[in-house]
Amino acid sequence: MGFYDFSVKDPQGNDVSMASFAGKVVLVVNTATGCGFTPHYAPLQKMYEELHDQGLEILDVPCNQFLGQTPGTDDEIHEFCTLNYGTTFPQMHKSDVNGEHELPLYAWLKQQKGFEGFGEGELAGKMDALLAGIDPDYRSNPDIKWNFTKFLIDRDGNVVARFEPTADMADVEKAVRALL
């Protein structure tokens, strides 16, 4: 199976086929409305506005699996994102990205690019400390560790990068631009 073989539900319950993104560069992001990384919506929206016409798609998958930081309904999440960040990229149905009920797309994404660490710096250290208290084995499994983990898919449907939420958004944008 490949990226284009999957689909996810939109907030109305309709299937959105990843095949509809064929030939585009896609950034798949699990998001949250009440997270310290929620401000990532601003650079994501800016990137979308600047690069959508060149072939960028951003797929927003709200997720409530990380300390309950996305408690709202799909409508409430959408309202929050549009009012606070002016988001216009596609937002999907709130879904699990880990565990028994994870989206099959996420199971596949994690197989393609596993966890490689949070990088360096104070924020990376804080995330390491937080996760060590939640899952002492977190470093050795491919699970999504937190909100705003990003998978970068090239125009051929290949997963070319995984960015943890601690990654600098300028680095994410640089990688996206390189594929456009």
Contact (Cβ atoms closer than 8 angstroms) between residue 1 and residue 19: no
How far is residue 55's CA from residue 68's CA, in Å, rounded to a whole number? 33
How far is residue 163's CA from residue 166's CA, in Å, rounded to a whole number? 8
Strands (E), 49-114: 56-62
How far is residue 7's CA from residue 18's CA, in Å, rounded to a whole number? 6
Of 35, 58, 92, 105, the catalytic one is 35
User: Which DSSP string do the residues of 1-28 spell out, in sequence order?
Assistant: --GGG-EEE-TTS-EEEGGGGTTSEEEE
Catalytic residue status for 35: yes
156 Cβ contact list (under 8 Å, min separation 6)? none
| Token pair listed for 104 | 């099959």
What are the residue numbers of the active site? 35
